Amino acid sequence: MKQNWLEIILIWLTVAVMTVALVATVSKANILGPFAAVLAGSLALVSLIQLFRAEPKGFVRRLVYVGGGSYLILTIATAYLWLRG
């Protein structure tokens, strides 16, 4: 499971970096589409890694952790944008 945590944390870091880049470059009115793409991309990346790993044990757990963490990162960024005005 330790390797799985490394994989999950690296995906969370990628989501965080992409979120910061989007907040800096995309207008508040148009941010929801790119945020949805980042969330979908994080889940797709976990699925792609799973496809090459061919080890079904723990897949749903990794999917839930990556999806939940990515959603939390994007929720915090959305709250920041709303509070910023």
pLDDT tens track for 48-62: 999 888 778 888 999
Neighbour count for residue 31 (Cβ, 10 Å): 18
Q: Using an 8 Å Cβ cutoff, are 79 and 25 in contact?
A: no
| pTM: predicted TM-score of the whole model, two decimal places | 0.90
Residues 5-57 have pLDDT tens digits of 999 999 999 999 999 999 999 999 999 999 999 999 999 999 999 988 877 88
Pick 55 or 70 by higher pLDDT: 70
pLDDT above 80 (res 76)? yes
